[in-house]
Amino acid sequence: NAGVTQTPKFQVLKTGQSMTLQCAQDMNHEYMSWYRQDPGMGLRLIHYSVGAGITDQGEVPNGYNVSRSTTEDFPLRLLSAAPSQTSVYFCASSLWGGETQYFGPGTRLLVL
């Protein structure tokens, strides 16, 4: 199993540009989520999904959209990038709500 994969590893955007961060898992996990981690800080939940077709907002959802058309994939879309969205983004998955979570390697995003 590849586990949780994320692409790209690094990305530089200009203010106002849009992009999609990709996340995929091959463990047949129902739960998937996106976190962001600002320098020196803990992770904060952006959006999550409890299964295909179902998504909900986390702690810091503004400026981001998600969709879950398949069990495997959970892309995160930045609609109009802002410098405040400069961060490291982690995708995670788990089998069910009470289970441990598996994290991807992260995407480092710089918005100029």
Partner 1 sequence: DAKTTQPTSMDCAEGRAANLPCNHSTISGNEYVYWYRQIHSQGPQYIIHGLKNNETNEMASLIITEDRKSSTLILPHATLRDTAVYYCIGKAANNAGNMLTFGGGTRLMVKP
Binding region for partner 1 (CB under 8 A): 4, 31, 33, 42-45, 48, 50, 56, 58-59, 90, 92, 94, 96-106
Q: What is the nearest approach in angstroms of partner 1 to the Cβ of residue 17? A: 24
User: Which one, 82 or 103, has the nearer CB to partner 1?
Assistant: 103
* Closer to partner 1 by Cβ: residue 18 or 59: 59
Residue 63: exposure state from Cβ atoms within 10 A (0-12, 13-18, ≥19): middle
Using the minimum distance from each CB to partner 1, give the nearer residue, 6 or 85. Answer: 6
Q: How far is the CB of 9 from partner 1 (least distance, A)?
A: 10
Residue linked to tokens 């959209």: 65
In degrees and rounded to multiples of 5, residue 90 shows phi and psi of -120, 135
User: Do the Cβ atoms of 19 and 77 come closer than 8 Å?
Assistant: yes
Contacts of 17 (CB under 8 A, 6+ apart): 80, 81
Shortest spacing between CB 100 and partner 1, in angstroms = 4
